[in-house]
Every structure is written in C-alpha cells, then in structure tokens.
Amino acid sequence: MPTRNDLANAIRALSMDAVQKAASGHPGAPMGMADIAEVLWNDFMKHNPQNPEWADRDRFIMSNGHGSMLVYSLLHLTGYDLPMEELKNFRQLHSKTPGHPELGYTPGVETTTGPLGQGLANGVGMALAEKSLAAQFNREGHDIVDHYTYVFAGDGCLMEGISHEACSLAGTLGLGKLIVFYDDNGISIDGEVEGWFTDDTPKRFEAYGWHVVPGVDGHDSAAIKAAIEAGRAETDKPTIICCKTVIGFGSPNKAGSHSSHGAPLGDDEIALTREKLGWKHGAFEIPDDVYKGWDAKEKGKAAESSWTERFEAYKKAHPELAAEFERRVIKRELPADFAAKANEFIKECQAKKEDMPSRKASLKSIEAFGKILPELMGGSADLAGSNLTIWDGSKPITKEDASGNYVYYGVREFGMSAMMNGITAHGGFIHYGATFLMFMDYARNAVRMSALMKLPNIFVYTHDSIGQGEDGPTHQPVEHMATLRATPNMDVWRPCDAAETATAWKLAVENKDRPSALVFSRQGLPAMERTDEQVEAIARGGYILSDCDGEPEVILMATGSEVAPTLEAAHLLTEKGRKVRVVSMPSTTLFDMQGKEYQNEVLPRSVTARVAVEAAHGDQWRKYLGLDGATVTLDTFGESGKGGDLMKHFGFTAENIAKTAESLL
C-alpha cells in the first residue's frame, strides 16, 4: 500500500521527467505543491475522470500555470484521458500537454492559465457562478448545485494587481466555496522574493473579508487536511490556506532555489532527487500500486451517479426548474424560440426608427433579450449609469442573496473581465460586462484570454470615440477598435443605430465559441432607412446602405456615429453628379468571414476610389482601400471639448468626407 509520500512523489517524478524530456518547463512548483495536491485530490476533490464535463464537479485551477505538469500528472494518475505518451510529449506541438494549461486541449483542464493572477480571478468567477446557480436552482431538500472551486496560486499571482481586484470582490460577495492555496515558497524567477514582495498576506486577505488559515506546512499531509476541513467548514467567506513549501522539494542541490523554478533539473540532479525521495522507478515509470492509490474513476463514477439520482428526484419535485437547468447548464442551449423573438425585435427597431445613442439602443436590446434569457447575467465596472447596462429585470447579486443577475464589479475592469471568463467557463450564464472603451486597456489581457479560450463573453464598451467630448483625450479611445479587431477569434461591432445594435446583440448571444465586443456611442445617432433585405444583411458585418444607378464611381464606408455624416457626404456628391455607394460596416470581423463573392458585391474590385470613415485609428481600413483609397480617421489623440466641436475639428463632417472623396476622382 503506497504512502501519501509515495503518491505525492509520483507527481514529482512525472513533473521532473517531463520537463527534462522537453528540455523546457517549470519543475519547481509541481514538486513543491505535490503534497497539497495529493491531499486535495485524494481526500476532497469531487470529480469524475470519465466525465470531465459533469455539471456538479469541483473545479480545480492552477493559477500559477507555469506549474502545468502538476495538473497533467494529476489528470493522468487519477484516470482522465491523458495517457503517458502525452506526458512524454509535454510542450510539443499538438500535444494535450501544452506549456501552460489550456482549456479545450486537455480533458479536465477548467481554464487557460499562464498570465499570473488571472487563474485566481477565473476561480472567483467560477465560485460566483456556483453560488448564483445554487441560489437560482436549489430548493429545500434538493441541492443539485453544490461544488467547490479550488485554486493553486503562487507569489506571482498575489503580486499581480488583478489578485487585489478579484479577491476584494470575492470577500464582499462571501464566496464560501472558494478555497485558495497560496504556495508561499519565497521564490520567483529573479530569486528570493523578500527583496520585492514583503506583504503580510494573511492580514491582507483578512482585510478582504476572507477566512485565513495561516502558517500551514505544505509538506505535512495532516496539517493540509485539517486546513482544508477548516476552509470547507467556513461557509460565508472564501478561504485562503497559506502553505509554506519548498520549491523543487526533494532536489538535493536545487530545492529552495530559483534554479528549480523554470529550467530542467538535469539528469544528474534527477538521479539524486530520486534517491533522496526513495523513488526507485525509472523515467515515466509508475508502479501499479501507486496507480491504484490515485485511481479516481470508480469514486468519481459513484459521485456522479449519486448526483444523477438526486437530480432525478429534483426533476419529479421541480420539473420546470430541472428542464431549465438541463438547457442552461448541461446542454448549454438557448431557448428554442430565441432566434425568432430576436429577429422580431430587430424588425421592430427598424420599423420604429428612433434616434438615440447606440448605448441607449443597447439598453433596449438588453431589455428585450433579458426577458427571454433567464441565463443573461450583466455587470459594469462602476459605470452602470453611463454604460446603460441595468434593465428593468436586473437584480443585484449580493453576499446575502446570490439569486440575482447583475454584478456590481466596482472599479475593476481587469478583474471583471477575468471573472467573466470564469463565469462563462463554468457554464449556466451568458455574461455581459461593461466599461468605457478607453478602459478596455485595463482589461486587455483578460479580453485576449477570452478569445484564446473561445469563451462567448459579451464585452460592452460605451463612449466609443472623441465624441465622448469634454472628458478629453484620457477618456477618448483612438487605437482601441484596431486592437480589438486585431485579436483573433473576436467579433467586434460598432453599430450606427438601433437595428444594427439589436443585430449585434443577437449574434453575440448566439455565439458559442468566441467573444464579442459591442462598441457604442455616448452621443445621439439618427436611425437609418433600410429595406428588409438590408436589415438581414446587417448580420453579414458589412452591407450596402445607400447606392446609385449602375457602378459607383466612389465607395464610402463607415461605422457607428460616422455613418450619418457619410450619408450626408454621399448626398453632396450625388448633387454634383457623382455616383456614390455608402457601405455600413458595423462589424469588419464578420464581413471578413463572408465569401469573396459577397465581399465583391459590396466592394467591387473595379471601384478603386474608396474612402473609409471612422473616428478611430485608420490603418486597418487600408485592407479595403488599397493604394488608391483614402481615410477620414484619426492618427492623433483627441482633445478636450464638446463632442460635436471635436468631430468638426478632426474632420468628421459631410463636407470633409465629400472633399476627401472628390480628391480621388
């Protein structure tokens, strides 16, 4: 019968062997945290290796994602579909064991981690999702949502500012089923952290409102078990277990040193480590009794079967709730009538032709879709009144009552976006989160991670340009549309009126494998005239809004608030006898996905005189313009002044657009 040390040493051996074979990686954290992982996974983790998607499983996150071999070792040993050959292919192209854990590559990996601190914030989001789902679906005698989120985090995670944003809110919301293990090994890449990280971490988390278990020996299984039990017993607060560990534990010459952090130990040191640990097995060799000690397949099957029985009882007691749970959480499907109702709303928007800021049009879309989407969860980074993200059915999620559908994130753009990733990865919600477009910069890496993970978040960005006005260039985005459009697997929308806005919202809700950025104006915008065919064409990202007889001499294309003056410019040119086409391009990313035939219908190759108009940086428009086109865009920062005055100052007028077009003819 293997001891706990034997089981933990299996993690250490696999980790140092895989890193050595790859000639790349981080053995130190897996070796240092192996004892913690052994206790957690063998004594507490509720999961089923044969069904990694089981809805009520516990979630495990390695926020210090460079220690990925710990995760892969755990998944392999407990029985997930991760054979030894994949561990031998650690960090190799197309393996299931990439350098950092990646959602979608490896069965059992819950989120992509690597940028430090974000896994911790994802965990806060998952714990929030669990608490909210439990409040929405659990009924007396029927706790069908009842699982924990466990996070491993290192010094680097806690140094990152996002840890403050997310952990502060976790305490406020009382996320009692979130348990974080702080790997306090005193080492980072540059060496001993005492030269740059001297925070009193227990007091810091006490100040957040967390339950703190300090001073745990991370190599004492009994102490670790007692700490986890204490954390699980505290139901009203998240828990951080501060574990003192030795990085690279077991290595005679490199343990406790940064030399074990991010490089292979070397064959000689590995041999010495095996000897010191008493691990008498070759590279990638795990004895049968150790495999048996780790195997979680039968235990996991029994746990899921027990839950299934309870869910069947829940079905009988609460059939409507059970059907909704199956749709939202298990199948992750939209209501069957969503598309039809959404299309009807888009038609209504077009028929009403109301002039309004697109942020207000966005609110109307939220109102319409919120009524038919109980899974819609919203939030804003302390800008709800400006972003217009609270609708009549919004109910705040609080520590005392998590059954709501709206999160007051506070001034935490980065934390909000990373928490959204956790909420969406958890399942059960379609989440939108809002801030000013300018402050997407604060959240940029979490937005990128959303696209990397193929998570269908909805990022709502208002105050989209110099039209923001008096707040000045600190609040006026210029390069941000280009940044978003350059992000792979990201849908980006900048609608010009309510019909385009409603279409953007519909497609964002329907996305299953990519996020959407919906960009809206502060200032009022006029509604556009459209035929039914034009309304349908909005969904293609770009379409002909106004046309001439025969082939145009010049094509004007625009987005958002610049569509209206571009149409006026077309009228001015038409009065001079010019043949002009106006193309509304609310989503260049979707237009680029269309077939070449459609793209050529909208932008015929024969017409080389083209002008792109957008109150943002113009470089990305050149792919539509070629060498003969021109832009009315921005290549400077804005100024402080009234929005209308700024638009005139920077040339976003019908007269200047027409003049620019004439220069090409």
**Which bin fits 541, alpha (ψ -120 to 50), beta or left (φ > 0)?**
left
Give the bridge partners for 544, in sequence order.
Answer: 583
Distance of CA 475 to the CA centre of its chain: 24
Q: Is 497 helix (H, G, I), strand (E, B) or coil?
A: coil
For 100, 299, 372, the CA distances from 335, given in Å and listed in that order, are 36, 35, 8
What tokens appear for 564 in the block? Answer: 């209206």
In 65-179, alpha helices (H)? 68-78, 84-88, 118-137, 155-159, 161-173
Contact assessment for residue 186 and residue 4, using Cβ atoms and an 8 Å cutoff:
no
- Residue 436 is inside which H or E element, if any? strand 430-436
Q: Is 241 helix (H, G, I), strand (E, B) or coil?
A: strand
For the chain, counts of helices (H) and of strands (E): 27, 20
Q: Which of 102, 110, 375, 413 is catalytic?
A: 413
Q: What is d(CA 648, CA 640) in angstroms, rounded to the nearest whole number?
A: 13
| Unique residue bearing structure tokens 């379609």 | 430
| Unique residue bearing structure tokens 């009924």 | 139
Question: Pairing between strand 524-525 and 356-357?
Answer: antiparallel
- Residue 644 is inside which H or E element, if any? helix 643-649
Q: What is d(CA 381, CA 433) in angstroms, rounded to the nearest whole number?
A: 8
Give the bridge partners for 432, in sequence order.
Answer: 458
Q: What is d(CA 85, CA 568) in angstroms, rounded to the nearest whole number?
A: 64
Residue 172 burial (CB count, 10 A): 14
Contact assessment for residue 8 and residue 296, using Cβ atoms and an 8 Å cutoff:
no
Q: Is 109 helix (H, G, I), strand (E, B) or coil?
A: coil
Contact assessment for residue 543 and residue 588, using Cβ atoms and an 8 Å cutoff:
no
Output the CA torsion sign for 344, 346, 349, 350. Answer: negative
Contact assessment for residue 218 and residue 233, using Cβ atoms and an 8 Å cutoff:
no
Contact assessment for residue 433 and residue 457, using Cβ atoms and an 8 Å cutoff:
yes
| Unique residue bearing structure tokens 């302390």 | 382
Determine whether 413 is an active site residue.
yes
Q: What is d(CA 77, CA 664) in angstroms, rounded to the nearest whole number?
A: 67
Active site residues: 413
